[in-house]
Structure 1
Amino acid sequence: MDDAGQSPTPPAGASEKTLLVLAAALAHPRFTDIVAEAGLAKATVHRILGTLVAQHYLGGNSEQGYRAGPNLLALAGRALASVDISQVAGPIVDELAASVDCTIHVGVATESEMVYLIRRDSAKPYRMRSRVGLGVPLHSSGMGKVVLADWAPERVDALAARVGLPRRTDLTITDLGLLHEELARVRERGYSTDLGENETGTVCVSAPIRDHTGAVTHGLSVSSIELEYPGLSIEALAPAAIAAADRISRELGAPGAPGA
């Protein structure tokens, strides 16, 4: 037992040591940093690095630094190709829908719109007009705005020049300067809202979903009707939306995602 009254951590096995060294080598180029990150003896780290290079899971050497090798890149490619966000996000979305009793959407960003991939309805008698496969503008939707908030300003400007900022309702942001101000608020808060901007009488709060590169490629929204969540009251559900989106991001391998 240790000083805190808990059982000591068991020593790492060979497989765990290999994974520790591999992860450290991908994060740090220098041998000394790899040793520090892995928390293993220098001789052990040197031996494992040699094996990983010999098996082409790493390239490089202790002098020039290490990098992902061809076998690791091929394995990563196959793993990424097999990811189905609907399967990954489905159970998390189900939990969220049951918890908040609102309609939950997950959408993917294209170059000009958000496309609904998942929809889970609440137990309430009303239904949203959304449907899987439907595309909505980025600038007027909650999910779209969390994606745009991750884009460089120049890319947002290019989108506006290419497709415009069409008015969906009387509340749609159609001025580029005002849109940039809104996106700055989204970045500061970590979530966005749609208060009747895409569809009159419908409100939502949305959170970003990040892929394995850290880019916001998807969004999650908690949607309801304005009669049930008037004014800014839908924002009370932002923490639940963020927590669910973070869980999905973590499952997708997003760097720095909570718990990653």
Structure 2
Amino acid sequence: MADTKDALSASEKTLHVLTAALEHSRFTDIVAASGLAKATVHRILGTLVASDFIAGDGERGYRAGPGLMSLAGRALASVDITQIARPIVDRLVAEVDCTIHVGMATDSEIVYLIRRDASKPYQMKSRVGHGMPLHCTGMGKAVMASWPASRVAELASRVGLPARTPDTITDLDALNAELERVRARGFATDLGENEIGTVCVSAGIRDHTGAVTHGLSISSIALEHPGTSIEQYADAAMDAAAEISRLLGAP
């Protein structure tokens, strides 16, 4: 039986070589990663170099070329996370029947980009375009958990950790302990810390560089989800956030 690589079309072989060349600089490694014959890889690399998608040569190594960088820049500039996330959010609302938020982190707030309500008679007070402090929201803590301790301390020094409810974490040591817990579990919660009677479970969304720049939350009211019972949706939040991250090009 012929090797499956032999059955690939010319365009598929080119994509294999391009992907390998972006992950490896040496010719021998590109050949191994692509699974194609040396002569085929050499020919395709020549075409990619001539078209500026790949730069370099067998002696100096290969890297992304100016043509590919320009194309990548245009692609990234056109990314709209609300369009990417909305179908996933709609599916998640139908699955858990809770309010779903997607927010973008600034240097001190989480700004709501999407709010999709459940079928319940109540509604969250959140509004698209409004920002809330990072330290007291589930999405904010999911983002901050990816930060080094020095950045968390700088935020606390610059804007403080103001109390929005009696349950808000207002002490830096306590916040760092909470963020360590978020890192260990992979999700964050807000159990009445931002708004009395409101709870949520959240996960971070990564961009194409791997940085956690956004968050997704599943929100409800404490009367319906008392104590920590909102955590039953932690896996759903993490799976949805991971799917959005993948569509954003996260490694």
TM-score bracket for this pair, using the shorter chain length: over 0.9
Q: Are residue 54 (structure 1) and residue 50 (structure 2) matched?
A: yes
Q: Are residue 76 (structure 1) and residue 64 (structure 2) matched?
A: no
The one-letter code matched in structure 2 to 1:209 is I
1:189 — aligned with what? Answer: 185
1:97 — aligned with what? Answer: 93
1:20 — aligned with what? Answer: 16
In the TM superposition, what are the counterparts of 1:86-125 in structure 2 within 5 Å? Answer: 86-125=82-121
Match of 2:207 among 208, 211, 218: 211
Give the paired residue count: 250
Percent identity, aligned pairs only? Answer: 70
The one-letter code matched in structure 2 to 1:185 is R
In the TM superposition, what are the counterparts of 1:221-260 in structure 2 within 5 Å? Answer: 221-255=217-251
User: Which structure has the highest helix share of the two?
Assistant: 2
Structure 2 residue ranges without an equivalent (≥5): none
Contact 2:5 2:35 in 1 (8 A): no
1:178 — aligned with what? Answer: 174
Match of 2:61 among 59, 65, 88: 65
TM-score normalised by L of structure 1: 0.94
1:157 — aligned with what? Answer: 153
Pairwise CA distance, 1:197: 0.5
TM-score normalised by L of structure 2: 0.97
Pick which of 8-17 and 133-142 moved more. 8-17
Moved over 4 A (4+): none
The one-letter code matched in structure 1 to 2:116 is R
Q: Are residue 199 (structure 1) and residue 195 (structure 2) matched?
A: yes
Aligned partners of 2:148 and 2:10: how far apart in 1? 44
Contact 2:5 2:36 in 1 (8 A): no
- Summarize deviations over 1:215-249 as a string: whole Å, max 9, x none: 10000000000011111100000011111111111
Pairwise CA distance, 1:9: 8.0
Could you say what the CA RMSD is over the residues aligned between the two structures, in angstroms? 1.4
Aligned partners of 1:78 and 1:91: how far apart in 2? 23
Aligned partners of 2:62 and 2:70: how far apart in 1? 17
Pairwise CA distance, 1:254: 0.5
2:37 — aligned with what? Answer: 41
Aligned partners of 2:58 and 2:231: how far apart in 1? 51
